[in-house]
Chain A
Amino acid sequence: MNKYPAWLNTLVLVILLAGCLLALPNMYGSVPAVQIADNDGIAFDDARLQEYVQAVADIGVSPEAAYLQDGRAVLRFEKDVDLAAVGEELKDRYGRGASVAQTLAPKLPEWVRDLGLSPMSLGLDLRGGVYVLLEVDMNQAVLSRLQSYEQDFSDRLRTAKIRHRVELVDQVIRIRLTSGDDMLAARDAVQKADPDILITDGTDGKSLAVRMNEAQIKARRDFAIDQNVTTLRSRVNQLGVAEPLVQRQGEDRIVLQLPGVDDPNKISEIITATATIEFRMVDLSGDEPGSRRYQGRGSEPSAVLKRRVVASGDQIIDAAAGFSEGKPIVSITLDGAGGESMLETTMNNLKKPMATVFIESHREQIRVGGELRYRDYKTEEIVSVATIQGVFKNKFQISGLSPGEAGDLALLLRAGALAAPVYMIDERTIGPSLGQDNIDRGFNAIKIGFLAVIVFMAIYYRAFGMIANLALLSNLVFITALLSWLQASLTLPGIAGIVLTVGMAVDANVLIFERIREEMSAGQSPQVAIHTGYEKALSSIVDANITTLIAAIVLFAVGTGPIKGFAVTLALGIITSMFTAIIGTRSVVNLFFGGRKLTSLPV
């Protein structure tokens, strides 16, 4: 009686070993490191990695380890290295195309890394950093689209020689015609501009009200928020932050998480930074007054461009990659003013090359004689040169690109500027000193609480108490393993969840042991008492834990920030403690006591 089959014992052992393995990366501690990521998200190869190692070697530092992780290069150093100097050197050499972040990296041996294992990631409250919740001004996003419609309609009506006045009030474009006879023609002209737009006739018989339909408004809002996320992400990359998070949240919010940043002013920079596009004609003669040479981005050759800007990024309403006649293209939509200028230029410059220039303003902190100062600079690069094939105005296409390039260009064009203004509605900065404090205190609380429970259980339930303690210990290992595996961030409330789990985890064993005691005092033999104790306690344990799990899941689903962190560890703790208490301790109890002749039990 009370014997587990060999396979079950093996399974318990395998799960325990797997837990130990997954939890292992947390044992190594961290060392200073730099993390280099490509700004356009291109994965690095070994050659790139070696290049960085060489660059660092040039200033007389050799990394303790250098490897690629998720396409990013990581150079790890001994504790006493001057990380700032290394970071500066790499930034000077590669700062334009790649983001260089100074950070801490776990000191994992190669074989652990090769298995794809990594330690728990710490939340901002533990490692320090900045959390920002932004709200996107959606009305503005829709309004700017309506403004370009307004311009477009006006142009079309003028071309059709219909006398009119246009105004935009409360997201409705009102077109007043001088003569009611023009109604049909006006309606036609507007509908041609966009077949999906909603047009209603005014009661006075000589006006039209035009509004975007629901789908168009939703599309515009989605476009605005997605573009803002893209823009902010590329801006964050230039900040040089290791593992930044930029994520859409709900209908109109964007979350930024920047671990390790202790100067929240950097966030304001990201939000106020500007990047834009300009279209300029190539100066083929190369000696027109005001012309100058622009560098090409990547493999794009440099060229001399004319002074006059044909159209600029703030006039771009939309940009999308696609195909025309089987060839990759980027479709661009300009607003009214941009369209007029483009029309004039293309009429006079057929078959001549026009360049697209990408312009970015940067601000970075630099150290001048031991003092931190800001330095502003601008990069202007040609991203493509295309020959004008016909006359066009606000809608046109850029061709002559590879499919990848077309996608990238569309992204860049859209990422240039924010589609709609954003406002900070929640901003939390945790300084590095508080982060470290929180870690120290949190783990201290876990240690002492854990010890207190262990001592109590050992005294109260003797040998069985020690088995429960074993379960408790493996429970901690399992929680650590799961957090590392799922890469869920551990936060301070998360630590509280673990502490609470430690207290509650013994509950299942207490239930079982009390039941065994009861069975014994009811006159059952020890073997029967063990068997009945586990069996009868099972339904209580499952019912009780499932109800707590319900609470944890609700917390996770409805809660935000700190509540979520708590819910995750609580839920994981419930699951692992059920396993360790019911199956784990049973296999140990069976191993020690199963099938033997016993007269009493050390419970």
Chain B
Amino acid sequence: MRLIRENTSIDFLGPMRRKVALAISLLLVVASLASLATRGLEFGIDFTGGILLEIGYEQTADMQTIRGDLARDGYADAQVQRFGSDDVVLVRLPPQEGDGEEIRNRLRATLESGGEQIDLRRVEFVSPQVGAELAESGALAMVVALMLIFVYVMIRFQWKFSAGAVAALAHDAIVTVGFFSIFGLPFDLTVVAAVLAVIGYSLNDTVVAFDRIRENFFALRGRSAEEAMNISINEMLARTLITGLTTLLVLVALLVLGGESIAPFSIALIVGVIVGTYSSIYTASATALALNVNAQDLIEPIKDPSLIDDLP
């Protein structure tokens, strides 16, 4: 069976198409950055510090009552929302004074004041200080990963490919995070992990394409770099789409079945895989092309001059 017919020859990298792709990418990146700058992210308590309660009720929870009870007892700034099902509620509070035990007991008393039986499924107290540290280590992880990947691709290929790969990865990371900003989705620590996984995935795609491009630069001597790259992308098209598809299959299973707390993670990966598939076709190669990549770049320089026995 085939999803893609054999020997496709779609012109992915023609000058016109490249411009359109560039425009789309720019639009996505600019929209993401604009949203990040104006709306910011809906940071979870992992990053802001604060208190999070996941409460199980015996019947459908009455949001109005819960909000009312909390406001009455001095928690007017509590965010209350349903979490996955009707009988589970998530309450988020900014950091509070007093020790954990005292706060917990007060909150429990407030929530049980109407006589409901509640099951505290999850209670998290994160100090703002820890939150700041987690945000810092997440950002650090992202930068370090990008740098190491740049170096690896440079060693295995060449700096123009490195630049292409990192441009594609930065593109994917920005658009994925931007998606969370534009749609106001909760951004927690697992999303950072997901964005890094997206970087890993997209890179996987990009490197596979580069590998074929390198092979074809030598196999198809005499053709222009643009042609060779276009042929490579066409040859890899089936593989790129099928891997994307199988990955999306499991991710959709994870989103639908994995439960509410893992949903942001699944969404980040789904967005990332789609954007990553697009970027490994367009962004990575187009960037390398824009840097005038050619077959000469991949020929290993002769390191030991004594091997050259006939110098003029």
Contact A544 B203 (CB under 8 A): yes
> Which of A54-62, A83-91, A334-342, A561-569 is the contact stretch?
A561-569
The interface residues of chain B lying within 8 Å CB-to-CB of A457 are 246
Residues A554 and B262 in contact in the complex (CB < 8 Å), given A268-B100, A453-B250, A548-B204: no
Tell me if B265 is interfacial: C-beta within 8 Å of chain A. yes
Contact B250 A550 (CB under 8 A): no
The interface residues of chain B lying within 8 Å CB-to-CB of A485 are none
> Which of B14-22, B27-35, B65-73, B208-216 is the contact stretch?
B208-216
Contact A562 B190 (CB under 8 A): yes
The interface residues of chain A lying within 8 Å CB-to-CB of B119 are 431, 433
Contact A551 B149 (CB under 8 A): yes
- Alpha-carbon separation in the docked complex, A457 to B243 (Å): 11
Contact A493 B193 (CB under 8 A): yes
Chain A, 408-444, CB within 8 A of any chain B CB: 424-431, 433-434, 437-438, 441-442, 444
Contact A554 B6 (CB under 8 A): no
Tell me if B141 is interfacial: C-beta within 8 Å of chain A. yes
Closest-CB distance, A510 to chain B (whole angstroms): 5
Contact B204 A544 (CB under 8 A): yes
Contact A448 B253 (CB under 8 A): yes
- The digit string for A487-520, where 1 denotes a CB below 8 A from any CB of B, is 0000011011101101110110011001001100
Instruction: Tell me the dominant secondary structure on chain A's binding face.
Output: helix
- Alpha-carbon separation in the docked complex, A536 to B239 (Å): 14
- Alpha-carbon separation in the docked complex, A168 to B136 (Å): 36
Contact B196 A500 (CB under 8 A): no
Task: Output the nearest chain A residue to B99 by Cβ-Cβ distance.
Answer: A268
The interface residues of chain B lying within 8 Å CB-to-CB of A543 are 156, 207-208, 210-211
Pick from A461, A546, A562: contact of B152, CB below 8 A. A546
Closest-CB distance, A381 to chain B (whole angstroms): 29
Pick from A133, A424, A504: contact of B247, CB below 8 A. A504
Point out which of A424, A442, A497, A554 has the most chain B C-beta atoms below 10 A from its C-beta: A554
Closest-CB distance, B130 to chain A (whole angstroms): 5
- The digit string for A158-172, where 1 denotes a CB below 8 A from any CB of B, is 000000000000000
Tell me if A400 is interfacial: C-beta within 8 Å of chain B. no
Contact A452 B249 (CB under 8 A): yes
The interface residues of chain A lying within 8 Å CB-to-CB of B249 are 449, 452-453, 456, 503
Chain B, 137-158, CB within 8 A of any chain A CB: 137-138, 140-141, 144-145, 148-149, 152-153, 156
Contact A503 B141 (CB under 8 A): no
Tell me if A366 is interfacial: C-beta within 8 Å of chain B. no
Contact B196 A551 (CB under 8 A): yes
Tell me if B238 is interfacial: C-beta within 8 Å of chain A. yes
Tell me if B93 is interfacial: C-beta within 8 Å of chain A. no
Contact B101 A500 (CB under 8 A): no
Chain A, 445-478, CB within 8 A of any chain B CB: 445, 448-450, 452-453, 456-457, 459-462
Contact A547 B204 (CB under 8 A): yes
Closest-CB distance, A337 to chain B (whole angstroms): 30
Chain A, 538-588, CB within 8 A of any chain B CB: 539-540, 543-548, 550-552, 554-555, 557-563, 566-567, 570
The interface residues of chain B lying within 8 Å CB-to-CB of A561 are 189
Tell me if A521 is interfacial: C-beta within 8 Å of chain B. yes
Residues A551 and B200 in contact in the complex (CB < 8 Å), given A499-B254, A510-B239: yes
Point out which of B3, B120, B205 has the most chain A C-beta atoms below 10 A from its C-beta: B120
Pick from A425, A461, A495: contact of B127, CB below 8 A. A425
The interface residues of chain A lying within 8 Å CB-to-CB of B130 are 133, 425-426
Task: Output the nearest chain B residue to A125 by Cβ-Cβ distance.
Answer: B261
Tell me if B258 is interfacial: C-beta within 8 Å of chain A. yes
Tell me if A322 is interfacial: C-beta within 8 Å of chain B. no
Contact B125 A554 (CB under 8 A): no
Task: Output the nearest chain A residue to B54 by Cβ-Cβ distance.
Answer: A434
The interface residues of chain B lying within 8 Å CB-to-CB of A536 are 215
Tell me if A285 is interfacial: C-beta within 8 Å of chain B. no
Tell me if A265 is interfacial: C-beta within 8 Å of chain B. yes
- Alpha-carbon separation in the docked complex, A444 to B253 (Å): 9
Task: Output the nearest chain B residue to A266 by Cβ-Cβ distance.
Answer: B101
Contact A499 B251 (CB under 8 A): yes
Contact A500 B197 (CB under 8 A): yes
Tell me if A403 is interfacial: C-beta within 8 Å of chain B. no
Pick from B124, B190, B236, B246: contact of A453, CB below 8 A. B246
The interface residues of chain B lying within 8 Å CB-to-CB of A445 are 250, 253-254, 256-258
Chain A, 391-411, CB within 8 A of any chain B CB: none
Tell me if B89 is interfacial: C-beta within 8 Å of chain A. no
- Alpha-carbon separation in the docked complex, A492 to B254 (Å): 11
Contact B243 A507 (CB under 8 A): yes
The interface residues of chain B lying within 8 Å CB-to-CB of A507 are 204, 239, 243, 246-247
Binding site for B on A (CB under 8 A): 133, 264-265, 267-268, 424-431, 433-434, 437-438, 441-442, 444-445, 448-450, 452-453, 456-457, 459-462, 492-493, 495-497, 499-500, 502-504, 506-507, 510-511, 514, 517-518, 521, 536, 539-540, 543-548, 550-552, 554-555, 557-563, 566-567, 570
Q: Top 3 A-B pairs ranked by shortest CB distance? A: A449-B250, A503-B247, A449-B253
Given A426-B125, A521-B7, A540-B208, list of 9 further CB < 8 A pairs?
Answer: A424-B127, A427-B126, A445-B256, A493-B190, A504-B204, A504-B243, A521-B6, A539-B211, A557-B141
Subset of 28 A-B contacts with CB under 8 Å: A268-B100, A427-B123, A430-B121, A430-B122, A437-B121, A441-B257, A445-B256, A445-B258, A449-B250, A495-B258, A495-B262, A499-B251, A499-B253, A500-B247, A507-B247, A521-B6, A540-B212, A543-B156, A544-B211, A547-B149, A547-B207, A554-B196, A555-B141, A558-B138, A559-B141, A559-B193, A560-B137, A563-B189
